[in-house]
Amino acid sequence: MKTTISDEEFYAGLQRLPKPKYPFPNSIHHDFQLQREEYYDWIDREYIFHSKEAREKHKQYNLTDIAARGCPFLKNLAELRPLAIYAADGAMMDDYFDRCSYDEMKDIATHIMTLLTDDDPDEPANNDIFHRFWILRQSAIACEMPERLYKKFLKSLHEVLIGYADERVYYRSNTIPPLPVYLLIREATSGAKPFCQYVAMQKDYRQLPDSILEHLHIQRLHTICALMIGIHNDIISLPKELHREEDTMNLVKVLQQEHKTSIKEAYMMALEVHDNYLKEFLVLQEHLPSFGQWQEMTRNYVQDLGIMVAGVYAWHTNDTSRYVNGGYVEGEFNSKQ
C-alpha cells in the first residue's frame, strides 16, 4: 500500500485511495443486487428511529455489499443474508450509538447477545436495532448454519460489541490511546473477525474440524485480517476524522502521538504497518502447518480469507459517500450520561 506523495498532494488529495498489493482476486456475490434491495427495504421499514437524512445516507453506502464482496462464494441469498445483516446493522448501529457512553454500550451489547443466543427468544416488539439482531438469528437458522460455526461467529461478534464499548472511553474523553491499546481494540472494532468465521460457510469449508479452525496459526491469520481491514478503514476514513473531535481511534492519529510526528509522516507509517501485516499473512499462508487430509481445503480457506480482505477493501474503493467530510451519519442516540 505504501506510496510516495508530496505535502501538497497529501493535504489536497487525502481521498485518493492507496492501492494495497493484495495478491487476491476481486469478486462479488451473484445476488448482491437482491441483497441491496432487501437492505433498502429494511431501512425504510425498520430504521424509523433514525432521521430521514440518516436513512438516505445509509442507503447510499450499500453496506450489504461488504458481505457480498467479503464472502462472494456463498451458495445463495439465504446464506448471504446473515452476514449482510451483521455488516449493515453493525455499521449503522455504530453510527447511531456514536455518542453513547461505555456503560450504555455495554448494556446494548448485553441485550443484543441475549437475542442472538436465544436467551431471550421473544421477538422484540419495536422496529429497532435489537429487532434487527433478532432477525439475524432467524436468518442463520433459516440458512442452516451449523451450530458450531454459529457459536464461533457469535463469540467474535460479541468481541466486536465489547470493542465498541471500550473505544467509547477514548471517544468520550477525546483521548488518543497508546498503540498497544489501539491494536487490541481495533482488532475487535474493525468488525472483521465475524467475517473470518463466516468464510467457513463457503464451499465445503464447514467440513473443516475445530482443531483447524481454532488452530493458533489460523487464529493469527484472523487477527491479521482484522487489523488490515481496521487499518485500511482508518486510512480511508482519515479525511472525515481529521474534521471531528473524539474520532481518536485511528492508527494515523495514534502513530502521530506515539512518534511525535506530522500527520503526513504518521500516514506513511500507517501504510507501512498495513503492508507489514500483509507480508506476515503471505508468509503464514505459504507455511501452513501439516493438516493431513485437510491440507488442500485449509489452503483454499486461507486464500479465501485473503479474498475477504481484498473484497472489503474493494467496497471502500467503490463507496464515495461514507468516508468524506460531511458524508457520515452523526450519532442520533440521546445519551443519558
How far apart CA 194 and CA 116 sit, in angstroms, is 13
- 272 or 2, greater pLDDT: 272
Cα distances (Å, whole numbers) of residue 302 to 219, 313, 314: 11, 17, 18
pLDDT at res. 153: 98
| pLDDT tens sequence across 16-46 | 556 678 999 989 999 999 999 999 999 998 8
Length of the chain: 337
How far apart CA 334 and CA 193 sit, in angstroms, is 29
Q: What is the pTM of this model?
A: 0.92
Main-chain phi, psi angles of 30, to 5 degrees: -65, -20
Q: Scanning the structure block, which residue is given the C-alpha cell 450520561?
A: 337
How far apart CA 31 and CA 105 sit, in angstroms, is 33
| pLDDT tens sequence across 143-200 | 999 999 999 999 999 999 999 999 999 998 999 999 999 999 999 999 999 999 999 9
pLDDT at res. 81: 98
Q: Please name the residue ranges forming H helices in 47-125.
A: 52-61, 64-70, 77-96, 102-116
224 contacts: CB under 8 Å, gap ≥ 6 = 277, 280, 281, 284
Cα distances (Å, whole numbers) of residue 330 to 20, 98, 253, 306: 29, 7, 21, 32
Q: Scanning the structure block, which residue is given the C-alpha cell 462464494?
A: 73
User: Quick one: which of 273, 188, 177, 180 has its CA closest to 222?
Assistant: 188
Say if CB 234 and CB 251 are below 8 A apart: yes
**How large is the average pLDDT for residues 227-234?**
94
For 11-26, give the DSSP string.
Answer: HH-TTS-------S--
Hey, what's the cell of 175? 483521548
| pLDDT tens sequence across 97-135 | 878 899 999 999 999 999 999 888 888 887 688 999 999
Cα distances (Å, whole numbers) of residue 217 to 152, 165, 222, 281, 296: 16, 28, 9, 10, 15
| pLDDT tens sequence across 249-287 | 999 999 999 999 999 999 999 999 999 999 999 999 999
